[in-house]
Amino acid sequence: MNSPRKVTRIQRQKREVILAAALEAFAEDGLRGATLEKIADKAGMSKPHVVYYFGSKDAIYTELLQSLLEVWVQPLRDLSEDADPLAAILTYMRRKLRMSQDMPRESKMFATEILHGAPRMRPQLSGDLKALVDDKAALIAGWSAEGKIAKIDPHHLIFSIWAMTQHYADFDIQVEAVLGPDRKAGLYDEADAFLTEFFVRALRP
Amino acid sequence: MNSPRKVTRIQRQKREVILAAALEAFAEDGLRGATLEKIADKAGMSKPHVVYYFGSKDAIYTELLQSLLEVWVQPLRDLSEDADPLAAILTYMRRKLRMSQDMPRESKMFATEILHGAPRMRPQLSGDLKALVDDKAALIAGWSAEGKIAKIDPHHLIFSIWAMTQHYADFDIQVEAVLGPDRKAGLYDEADAFLTEFFVRALRP
DNA sequence: ACAATTTTTGACCATTTGGACAGAAAAATA
DNA sequence: TATTTTTCTGTCCAAATGGTCAAAAATTGT
């Protein structure tokens, strides 16, 4: 029957709730700033209960980070040969921008971790991530060599896409303060238009 | 004579030492993560001594943030009419990039503060900073209208300069991990070359 | 040299916080 | 229904940490 499955589902749901609460807390205050009590409150349960499911605050943080990493680099994984290389890069940029819009908490959590030295991601950055980026950089370099896009350093191109798209999520407070409240609603449409135009100009041969 | 001056100078020096130590600590671990003891150690004095000079950890943090803000926006202040608007913008970009290279700790401290909601800078972001950016955006918009540079949204152009230059300081761990150790030495030269080419392409009419 | 002032620190305190533990409540199993 | 297992929480504890305080040490002024 499904009696064991039922329990498992409940467990999985509880863990989901805790992870969601923790993500919010970590994005707001970082690993140190976020307290177990705050996470428990956001999750609607007691502090020992949170510990019961994850063992420690650190374990929640690490698990979140690891599972998010995969989601985070997926758009780059999907960058591949295309009828139009420029369109492929623009699509990648747009997916990253949409992730900033839809997952600002995830973006902030990553940013905070890396900003503070990425103590629990260093191996993956210089391992998997470096391999992935090198791979895609080679692809882009190929397009450059064939004259399909401008000749630019592909690694720095990727950095620039990361920087510009994540800026809107990570520093949203600053962006919104500078633009003023009126432009807040259409912000991501503006950003999309600007970045598209910007990268088209920079990349066409 | 200079007997009172002498004391004042010593006081000033002590404060300088503490501020430098605190900057390092805050950049590494953020406001919460940095402890008074760590700051005191880095400054080579006892914990109560640090408190004696600044009253509280928070006071050090706030003072650092305020004094750094002025330095931080100076390059934008200096953006003005020029024989060549494109050159003026490139100069601005380069000054920002150099600040990332020379003051990574300051960059990280700002980034962390804004990332976490900028609780003690909000008024200045939507006040002074917004006014300054609006002013310079108007200048750039003028250049656009005159056909001296491409027609792009000047606010987002400024954001893109902030994002791309600060990325190299704030996320240096990631950048260096992805590029590998060999490219670390010439990193900022690479970045300068890339960004210059990039912005020239994007901005020329 | 002596008094007054400033600087410096060791010892201490109150609060916060991660998390251990025993046992209650609930659920599954029999 | 009785028993076993799982879930959940009130209570407590030890460590970390921001900050106080009294007094020592150094400096300054006379």
- pLDDT per residue as tens digits for the range A83-123: 899 999 999 999 999 999 999 999 999 999 999 999 999 99
CA separation for the pair B112, B12 (Å, rounded): 27
- CATH 1.10.10.60 spans which residues of chain B? 1-55
Between B114, B150, B155, which is nearest A201 by CB? Answer: B150
Distance of A31 CA from D4 C1′ (whole Å)? 39
Subunit contact A125:B28, Cβ cutoff 8 A: no
* pLDDT tens track for B155-199: 999 999 999 999 999 999 999 999 999 999 999 999 999 999 999
Sequential DSSP letters for A41-70: HHHTS-HHHHHHHHSSHHHHHHHHHHHHHH
Per-residue pLDDT tens for A23-32?
Answer: 999 999 999 9
Work out the minimum CA distance from A99 to partner chain B, whole angstroms.
17
Q: Could you read off the pLDDT of A42-51 as tens digits, one per residue?
A: 999 999 999 9
pLDDT-based confidence at residue B4 (cuts at 50, 70, 90): very low
Contact B122 A201 (CB under 8 A): no
Report the pLDDT averaged over residues B42-51.
97
| B44 nearest nt, CA–C1' | C8
Query: What digits encode the pLDDT tens for the residues A157-202?
Result: 999 999 999 999 999 999 999 999 999 999 999 999 999 999 999 9
B58 — contact with chain A (CB < 8 Å)?
A: no
Amino acid residing at B165: T
What is the pLDDT at residue B152? 97
Q: Which of B30, B108, B159 lies at the smallest CB-CB distance from A175?
A: B159
**Yes or no: domain B1-55 corresponds to CATH 3.30.420.40:** no
Interface test with B, best of A156, A157, A197 (most B CBs within 10 A): A156
Rounded to whole angstroms, the Cα distance separating A200 from A34 reads: 41
Question: Please, how many CA atoms are within 13 Å of residue A199, restricted to the half-sphere of its CB?
Answer: 25
Q: Which two tokens stand for residue A115?
A: 């900003």
Other CB atoms within 10 Å distance of the CB of residue B141: 17
Q: What is the pLDDT of residues A137-162, one digit of tens each?
A: 999 999 999 999 999 999 999 999 99
The residue that leads in pLDDT, B3 or A151, is: A151
Closest nucleotide C1' to the C-alpha of B46: C9
Residue B153 reports pLDDT greater than 90: yes
How far apart (Å, rounded) are the C-alpha atoms in residues A201 and B203? 8
Beta-carbon separation of B164 and A162 below 8 A: no
Check pLDDT > 90 for residue B52.
Answer: yes
Query: A74 CA to chain B: closest CA distance, Å?
Result: 16
Q: Is 80 exceeded by the pLDDT of residue B134?
A: yes
Give the C-alpha separation, A140 to A14, whole Å: 43
Q: Do A150 and B64 touch, CB atoms closer than 8 A?
A: no
Angle at B140 between CA B134 and CA B142, to 5 degrees: 105
Fold of A65-203: Tetracycline Repressor; domain 2 (1.10.357)
The answer to whether strand C lies under 7 Å from the CB of residue B10 is yes
A85 in Cβ contact with A3 (< 8 Å): no
* Whether the predicted pLDDT of A3 surpasses 70: no
Question: Boundaries of CATH 1.10.357.10 in chain B?
Answer: 65-203
For the cut 80, the answer to whether the pLDDT of residue A9 exceeds it is no
Residues of chain B above pLDDT 90, percent: 92
The 10s digit of each residue's pLDDT in B85-95 is: 999 999 999 99
DSSP string, A111-152: HHHHHTT-TTTHHHIIIIIHHHHHHHHHHHHHHHHTTSS---
List all residues of chain B from 140 to 199 with a beta carbon under 8 Å from chain A.
Answer: 150, 152-153, 155-157, 159-160, 162-164, 166-168, 170-171, 173-175, 177-180, 190-191, 193-195, 197-198
Report CB contact under 8 Å: A191, B156: yes
Distance CA A153, CA A155 (A): 6
